[in-house]
Amino acid sequence: MNVVRLVKKAKRGDKEALLQLIMSQKDTYYRLAYAYTGNKEDALDAMEDMIVILYEKVQQLQKEESFYSWSKTILVNCCKSLLLKRNKLLLIDDLNVIENNELSNANRVDPYRKSDQQIDLQSLLLHLNEYQREAIQLKYFHDFDNQTIAEITKVSIGTVKSRIFEGLKKLREKYGGDVHE
């Protein structure tokens, strides 16, 4: 698949080309959205928002080869906006509904969260600040390089490296063992 050629077609209004680009990375998009939102429905909502934005703004993309890092940045921003909206709309009466949904979600089999090891890793990451957790998840759970993480989180590469280093250092101090980058 030639990404640059498809992006150029999408910029000219070819919806099929844009759809091909999105569908070729749909699993990656889902995993990324799920890592931020923590549930299937919100991840899919964020992906829908991303697709709309991609369709509306693909003409503004300057470098065709940057399509995937640009789209992942948009997806992360959609996830953060969604979470922010949901937190603002949280009502006291909704707490019981949320707790029941979380319990039922925990009982469902999700291919991305089915092992106990993943649950243990998620609980370990709760001891990090949100920036360190985000950087470590993007690096080790999604295999993004430091440049891509910097673009997604809108910080310098040095900041990304620092967040990963400090996060791993905290985990090493708290839980011991050999934690190497």
pLDDT of residue 116: 62
Q: What is the pTM of this model?
A: 0.67
DSSP conformation letters of 35-72: HHH-SHHHHHHHHHHHHHHHHHHGGG-S-GGGHHHHHH
Separation of alpha carbons 60 and 45, rounded Å: 23
Instruction: Give phi and psi for 179, each to the nearest 5.
Output: -110, 105
Separation of alpha carbons 73 and 51, rounded Å: 12
pLDDT of residue 1: 74
b/e map 18-42, b = 16+ CB within 10 Å: beebbeebeebbbebbbbbbebbeb
pLDDT of residue 103: 47
Instruction: Give phi and psi for 79, each to the nearest 5.
Output: -65, -45
- Each residue's pLDDT tens digit in the chain (181 positions)? 789 999 999 999 999 999 999 999 999 999 989 888 888 999 999 999 999 999 999 999 999 999 998 999 999 999 989 988 887 654 444 444 544 555 455 545 454 555 566 666 777 888 889 899 989 888 888 888 999 899 888 899 999 999 999 999 988 888 776 545 4
pLDDT of residue 83: 87
